[in-house]
Structure 1
Amino acid sequence: MSQNINIYLPDDTLAEIDRLAPQGDRSRFIIEAVKFYIHESNKRAMRDLLKEGAIVRAERDLALAQEWFGLDEV
């Protein structure tokens, strides 16, 4: 299912799209560009969440690692 929408783009942006997209295929180009942007945004958000979680748990993880290192020495 698709919907027809109206968007406004700066002239220079439209010129770039026309330069890069195959003749008469603006819609396909914009669809792919939006999908790529969403995918990259989701990856960036996931990376940020993982980083935040690692920072929050760093002290606990270090304590656990130190406990296990002690077992190796026995």
Structure 2
Amino acid sequence: MHRRINITLPDETIELIDQVIEKGDSPEERLRQRSRFINEAVQYYIAEKALVNLREQLKEGAIQRAERDLGLVEEWFDLEEELWHKNEA
């Protein structure tokens, strides 16, 4: 399903779009090409924003887990070292 909306873009933006779209034979074809291009650009932008957000969430999670894991290592280090020395003897 498609829905018609009206948007306003600067002339420079429209000129940039017109430089990369396929040239249509009619004004209607040019409008379809512009619409198709804008749709692809918006979907690409949203996908990229989602990836940036996902990367940030993964980074924050990794930092939180690293702090937790370091705490666990510090808690168990003495016990492991004691077992190591027992096994050497």
Range of TM-score over shorter length: 0.7 to 0.9
Post-superposition shift, 1:21?
Answer: 1.0
Task: Give me the whole-angstrom Cα distance separating, in 1, the residues matched to 2:21 and 2:69.
Answer: 49
Larger Rg: 2
- TM-score by length of structure 1 reads 0.81
Alignment length (residue pairs): 72
Instruction: Name the counterpart of 1:15.
Output: 15
Post-superposition shift, 1:57?
Answer: 2.0
Percent identity (aligned): 49
- The secondary structure found in structure 2 opposite 1:22 is coil
Moved over 6 A (4+): none
Instruction: Name the counterpart of 2:66.
Output: 58
Letter in 2 for 1:4: R
The CA RMSD over aligned residues, in Å, is: 2.1
Post-superposition shift, 1:62?
Answer: 2.5
